Chain A
Amino acid sequence: MKIERQNWYEDFEVGQLFRHRLGRTIGEFDNSLFTTLTLAYHPLFLDEHYAKSQGFASRLINPLLLLNVAIGLSVEDLSETNEGGAFLGIENLLFHRQSSPGVTIYAESEVVSARVAASRPQFGIVTWHTVATDHSDEQLFEFDRTNLVPRRHRT
Chain B
Amino acid sequence: MNDVIEHARGRTLTEMDGVLLSTLVMNTAEGHFNEHAMQGTAFGHRVVFGGIVTSLVVGLSSDCFGENLRRDIGYPRIAFKNPVMHGDTLYARSQILHKGRVTNEGGLVRMLVQGFNQDRQEVVEIERDFILKSADGVSSVKAASGGEGEESDLIQGWR
A-to-B contact residues, CB < 8 Å: 5, 22, 24, 30, 33-35, 37-44, 50, 62-65, 67-69, 71-73, 75-76, 79-82, 84, 86-95, 98, 141, 143
CA distance A119 to B127 in the complex (A): 26
| Shortest Cβ-Cβ A-B pairs, 10 listed | A39-B59, A72-B26, A40-B59, A72-B25, A38-B59, A93-B75, A94-B74, A68-B25, A68-B51, A72-B27
Question: Closest B-chain residue to A98, C-beta based?
Answer: B71
In the complex, how many residues of chain B place their beta carbon closer than 8 angstroms to a beta carbon of chain A? 45
- The residue that B77 contacts in the complex, of A41, A71, A80, A91, with Cβ under 8 A, is A91
6 residue pairs of the A-B complex, CB under 8 angstroms, read A38-B52, A64-B51, A67-B51, A67-B75, A93-B75, A93-B76
- Taking the closest CB of chain A, its distance from the CB of B74, in whole angstroms, is 4
Is there an interface contact between B37 and A69, defined as CB atoms closer than 8 Å?
no
**B25 contact set on A, CB distance < 8 A:** 34, 65, 68-69, 71-72
**B11 contact set on A, CB distance < 8 A:** 39
Is there an interface contact between B31 and A82, defined as CB atoms closer than 8 Å?
yes
CA distance A27 to B132 in the complex (A): 26
Is there an interface contact between B74 and A92, defined as CB atoms closer than 8 Å?
yes
Is there an interface contact between B26 and A42, defined as CB atoms closer than 8 Å?
no
**B38 contact set on A, CB distance < 8 A:** 82
- The residue that B29 contacts in the complex, of A81, A90, A98, with Cβ under 8 A, is A81
B-to-A contact residues, CB < 8 Å: 9, 11, 17, 20-22, 24-31, 37-38, 41-42, 49-52, 54-56, 58-60, 62-63, 66-67, 69, 71-80, 83, 154
- The residue that A37 contacts in the complex, of B17, B27, B62, B67, with Cβ under 8 A, is B17
Given contact pairs A33-B24, A39-B9, A42-B67, A64 touches B76 in the complex (Cβ within 8 A): no
Is there an interface contact between A41 and B66, defined as CB atoms closer than 8 Å?
yes
- Taking the closest CB of chain A, its distance from the CB of B114, in whole angstroms, is 14
- The residue that A93 contacts in the complex, of B20, B50, B78, with Cβ under 8 A, is B78
CA distance A105 to B4 in the complex (A): 36
- The residue that A75 contacts in the complex, of B17, B27, B72, with Cβ under 8 A, is B27
Chain A CB within 10 Å — which of B25, B38, B60, B63 has the most?
A: B25
**A39 contact set on B, CB distance < 8 A:** 9, 11, 56, 59-60, 62-63
Is there an interface contact between A64 and B77, defined as CB atoms closer than 8 Å?
no
Is there an interface contact between A90 and B73, defined as CB atoms closer than 8 Å?
no
Beyond the given A75-B26, A75-B28, A93-B78, please list 13 additional residue pairs across the A-B interface where CB-CB is below 8 A.
Answer: A38-B56, A39-B56, A41-B63, A42-B67, A50-B67, A64-B55, A67-B75, A71-B27, A80-B29, A80-B30, A88-B79, A92-B74, A95-B73
Given contact pairs A82-B37, A87-B80, A94-B74, A43 touches B28 in the complex (Cβ within 8 A): no
**A141 contact set on B, CB distance < 8 A:** 74
